[in-house]
Amino acid sequence: MQYSKVKIKKQQATDILDELYDIKGQISELPGELDFNFKIRTTEKKYIFKISRPNVDKEFIDFQYFLLKHIEQSPVDIVSPQIIKSRKGAGINQYKDESGCIRWVRLCTWVEGRLWSSVHPHPDELLYSLGYESGVITQILSDFDHPSAHRKLDWDICQAAWIEEFIDIFNDDIKKIISSFQKRFSDILLQLNELRKGVIHNDVNDNNIIVSGQLSDPKVKAIIDYGDAIYTSQINNLAVIIAYAVMGKPDPLQAALPIVKGYHKAFPLEEKELDLLYVLVAVRLLLSITKSAINKLKEPENEYLLISEKPALTLLEKWYALNEKLVTYSFRSVCGFNPHPQEAEFVMWRNNNICHLKDLFPTINAKCMTKVDMSVSSTWLGSRQDYLDNSLTTHKLNMLQVTNPGSIIAGGYGEIRPFYTSDIFKKEGNNGPEYRTVHVGLDFWVESGTPIHALFPGKVYSLHNNTGDKDYGPTLILEHTFNKSLKFYTLYGHLSCSSLKLFKKGDLIKKGEFIAYVGNESENGNWSPHLHFQMMLDMLGNKTDFPGVAFPSEFQIWRSICPDPNLLFKKKEPEKQMKYEKEAIIAFRKEHLGENLSLSYKKPLKIVRGEGIYLIDDTGRKYIDTVNNVAHVGHEHSRVVEAGQKQMAVLNTNTRYLHDSIIEFANKLLSTFPEKLSVVYFVNSGSEANELALRMAKTYTGQKDMIAVEVGYHGNTNACIEVSSYKFDSDGGQGCPEHTHIVPLPDTFRGIYQRADAGERYALHVKKQLENIQHSGRNIAAFICESIISCGGQIELPENYLKTAYKEIRETGGVCIADEVQVGCGRVGSAFWGFQLHDVVPDIVTIGKPIGNGHPLAAVVCTKQIAEAFANGMEYFNTFGGNPV
């Protein structure tokens, strides 16, 4: 029957609702496949109204009714739709439509919240919540059954063999993927049918998930619509959830992991279930795209049936591109199992088979390893310019070797390194790009030409020259088998080209046999000479190569696949400088550095390196720094670093002595100012600069009263906080001090004045505060204002505001202070200083943050008259301000 003929329209639904339930309200259509669904809104409550398609089996409707009742009666506290009985007291009601067909009608309470499809983004915490709530429902339904739960259902993964006959609907590229997954499904079907079974929801999709209303930390509130519930292998439910929830995600596997973790927490999964999950997700996607293709032919006007067609195809292609074993190991890891199932067996074997450095390098007389730190936070590596210079790195390694005779310079396992920045190491993650930066091998920094010998007997798995920049260069992989059941591989990278001619694939290798030479820079992938040694419990389908670095988010899996080679030599990773985990740093800061020492972001970043416009965290991830207002010419600018290093190596002392550098710097700085501003005082921070400026103004005028701008911020000293509305009007503040007078924020977008004359009208508030001060028998000391109001929202001052305000201040004998700490030094585009945009000249200018490019340097520039008044006999001295560095 055509869809248009069986469809229930809104007016029909309104009439049925009134007849059976005596309920009137606003009605709107909702999507659905088996039922026609409507949202009912009365003045007091909301409901979901469900009307079946014609002549649906009553037993199936009973199944859904008793399933909801089972959940409702569960002792577990869970939100789910509650059944509303009709005026006749029935939970399921019969209705005969215009064609004489029987329809089954149900009314349930409405679960308030947002549909998953309307919630963006989906952070890991929300994905975990989805898994957990779904797992709870699976657990509740474990002891529920009904005859209709054992029906034939196309959407049941266990019954998915039917899709084979429709493969010709698709193009050749999709056919290839479908055929591959159909074969894998055929391979595992017997295992699947032997797994735990029970009634499952089977349709946890975007429109069946209700999310809480709060925008911060949203949680899954309920799962609704049990129309596809079926008795089947329980792991299928998780496959369905993943298939829908990770659609549209750049990295579907990373999105799936918190779902699996949450599900496992509520409904513990078995290892044999996890072994099949990758294929089951794919099969659910095959069901989805096949159903969409068939339904497009049957009911082209039913948009709900096509809702997941394109996203499902895209996800299917991404899922196909994943390595099945790596996916399975990832699932095992988040469930608390060893990622690689043979990890424990390998550890036992390794503990009984200890090696010595001389076994690997017989020609080197070394009994120990000396750690070299090449991590992203390493000070030994130096700047990017330094660590990309192979000749410099080789020289530094040679010097390290000279100072550590009798040892081999080695290290790097588990080390997050800054080298791997090209696209071959990159993937698009769900929170931006991620790079493979975690080293999963052990590097031995030895001379080129050093002979290498086999640590274990085995056979040649592959010989290949991986020629890319920063790749392995010539590489040898050996395969080893012990105790018949244990197989692993060893990789030797950065070899000489001549090493590839020593053996061929399949050759047997004896323990201790010479197998290769260490290569030089021209042949080894463009590295300083070294051997990259790595062990793998699984080649993951690789034939001639294997990743030597892993994504930080996946390291727990990779450390299981690639065990730490240090332990072969009965050594832990050579000791590195103590590194603290984020949680430990946060706890220490709160305990010992003060709880109110602020941190940015809900999940604080651990920043360990800066390069140009980037800040780099402890995982090697780069962030474009659009927030930090200090590194004016880029982080660790080579010229700035070099200047500081050179001077620090010669002299760093205070200003009690004569020195050329303070004169040179003062002259260059003053050359950027109007001639009137001719005296400079060097200090260490913006707070210190504003503190000094306020002190100067009070000394010059003999007054204490200050006028400042609403939401202004000028520093963290007592005097600065007293003129900072941003601080004294916020938590912990004590309100406006007696001698501070606040004028409105001159915001022409959201403020009280927004017309062309807004500048003059805002400045009238300065005049009014001056009158209030004089009325109290006092006078003004200074008006302090940022040239762009920073903490107030980067508010640009309106035209004529400063010009008018400065005129009023000066007419009453006050001083005009321009706070340029955040915005000065060429940051405003057409002028070097912000005040220059307004055609005014302040009496005092304060400078900070950008002037030192990260070094604690600030300054106060003022007129000669103010400087002379400030020199009233009291010495001014600053221990560090103006030092040679």
103, 61 Cβ separation under 8 angstroms: no
Q: Buried b vs exposed e over 47-86: b needs ≥16 C-beta within 10 Å?
A: bbbbbbbeeeeeebbbbbbbbbebbeebeeeebbbebbeb
Instruction: Indicate whether 713 and 811 sit together in one domain.
Output: yes
Residue 576 counted as domain residue: no
CA atoms of 328 and 317, how far apart (whole Å): 18
Nearest in space to 805 (alpha carbons), one of 749, 746, 729: 746
User: Does residue 509 surpass a pLDDT of 70?
Assistant: yes
Average pLDDT across the chain, whole number:
93
Nearest in space to 396 (alpha carbons), one of 385, 386, 407: 386
Instruction: Indicate whether 698 and 798 sit together in one domain.
Output: yes
What pLDDT band is residue 5 in, cutting at 50, 70 and 90? confident
3-state SS of 651-691 is CCCCCCCCCHHHHHHHHHHHCCCCCCEEEEEEECCHHHHHH
Strands (E), 543-632: 549-550, 607-611, 614-617, 622-624
User: Does residue 609 surpass a pLDDT of 90?
Assistant: yes
Instruction: Indicate whether 744 and 611 sit together in one domain.
Output: no
Token pair for 293: 């293709």
From 279, 309, 334, the end of a domain falls on: 334
Q: What is the CA radius of gyration of the chain?
A: 36
Query: Average of pLDDT values for 17-32?
Result: 90
CATH number of residue 73's parent domain: 3.30.200.20
Could you read off the pLDDT of 558-571 as tens digits, one per residue?
999 999 999 998 76
From 307, 334, 361, the end of a domain falls on: 334
What pLDDT band is residue 302 in, cutting at 50, 70 and 90? low
CATH number of residue 321's parent domain: 3.90.1200.10
pLDDT at 574: 47
Q: Higher confidence at residue 372 or residue 304?
A: 372
pLDDT at 305: 55
Residue 574 counted as domain residue: no
Cα torsion 150, 156, 157, 161 to 10°: value is: 90
DSSP assignment of 394-457 equals HHHHHHHHHTSTTEEEEE-TT-B-S---SGGGEEEEBTEEEE--EE-SEEE---TT-EEE-SS-
CA atoms of 704 and 714, how far apart (whole Å): 17
Instruction: Indicate whether 563 and 424 sit together in one domain.
Output: yes
Residue 639 counted as domain residue: no
What is residue 322's DSSP assignment?
S
Residue 437 counted as domain residue: yes
Residue 724 counted as domain residue: yes
CB within 8 Å of 452: residues ≥ 6 apart: 360, 361, 492, 495, 514, 515, 516, 517, 518, 531
pLDDT at 308: 62
Tell me the CA distances in angstroms from 169 to 161, 163, 293, 298, one per residue in order. 16, 10, 7, 14
Q: What is the pTM of this model?
A: 0.88
User: Does residue 303 surpass a pLDDT of 70?
Assistant: no
517, 364 Cβ separation under 8 angstroms: no
Instruction: Indicate whether 142 and 289 sit together in one domain.
Output: yes
Q: Which of 104-113, 131-140, 297-306, 869-878 has the lowest mean pLDDT?
A: 297-306
Q: Higher confidence at residue 236 or residue 885?
A: 236
pLDDT at 310: 86
pLDDT at 145: 97
CA atoms of 862 and 696, how far apart (whole Å): 9
CA atoms of 819 and 693, how far apart (whole Å): 9
Instruction: Indicate whether 354 and 321 sit together in one domain.
Output: no
From 110, 137, 153, the end of a domain falls on: 110
What pLDDT band is residue 301 in, cutting at 50, 70 and 90? low
Amino acid at residue number 12: Q
Q: Higher confidence at residue 658 or residue 786?
A: 786
pLDDT at 876: 87
Count of CB atoms within 10 A of residue 41's CB?
13
pLDDT at 304: 58
Instruction: Indicate whether 475 and 436 sit together in one domain.
Output: yes
Nearest in space to 3 (alpha carbons), one of 384, 305, 368: 305
User: Does residue 282 surpass a pLDDT of 80?
Assistant: yes
What pLDDT band is residue 577 in, cutting at 50, 70 and 90? very low
Residue 158 counted as domain residue: yes
Query: Average of pLDDT values for 594-598?
Result: 84
pLDDT at 409: 95
Q: Percentage of the chain surpassing pLDDT 70?
A: 98
Range of the domain at 122: 115-334
**What is the number of structural domains in the chain?**
5
CATH number of residue 436's parent domain: 2.70.70.10
CATH number of residue 821's parent domain: 3.40.640.10
Could you read off the pLDDT of 172-186 as tens digits, one per residue?
999 999 999 999 999
CB within 8 Å of 149: residues ≥ 6 apart: 63, 199, 229, 230, 231
pLDDT at 631: 85
Q: Higher confidence at residue 307 or residue 7?
A: 7
CB within 8 Å of 177: residues ≥ 6 apart: 316, 317, 320
Token pair for 653: 């002392």
Q: Higher confidence at residue 485 or residue 220?
A: 220
Instruction: Indicate whether 857 and 750 sit together in one domain.
Output: yes
Instruction: Indicate whether 752 and 796 sit together in one domain.
Output: yes
pLDDT at 798: 95
pLDDT at 307: 59
pLDDT at 119: 95
For the chain, how are helix, strand and coil distributed in percent, rounded to 5? 40, 20, 40
CA atoms of 475 and 479, how far apart (whole Å): 13
Residue 190 counted as domain residue: yes
pLDDT at 545: 93
Token pair for 368: 């120990």
Chain centre distance of CA 539: 29
pLDDT at 594: 85
User: Does residue 39 surpass a pLDDT of 90?
Assistant: yes
Could you read off the pLDDT of 780-825 as tens digits, one per residue?
999 999 999 988 888 999 999 999 999 999 999 999 999 999 999 9
Instruction: Indicate whether 323 and 386 sit together in one domain.
Output: no
pLDDT at 61: 92
pLDDT at 572: 58
User: Does residue 590 surpass a pLDDT of 80?
Assistant: yes
Residue 577 counted as domain residue: no
State the sign of the Cα–Cα–Cα–Cα dihedral 496, 576, 426, 552.
positive
Could you read off the pLDDT of 436-482 as tens digits, one per residue?
999 999 999 999 999 999 999 999 999 999 998 889 999 999 999 99
Instruction: Indicate whether 547 and 418 sit together in one domain.
Output: yes
Instruction: Indicate whether 622 and 665 sit together in one domain.
Output: no
What pLDDT band is residue 576 in, cutting at 50, 70 and 90? very low
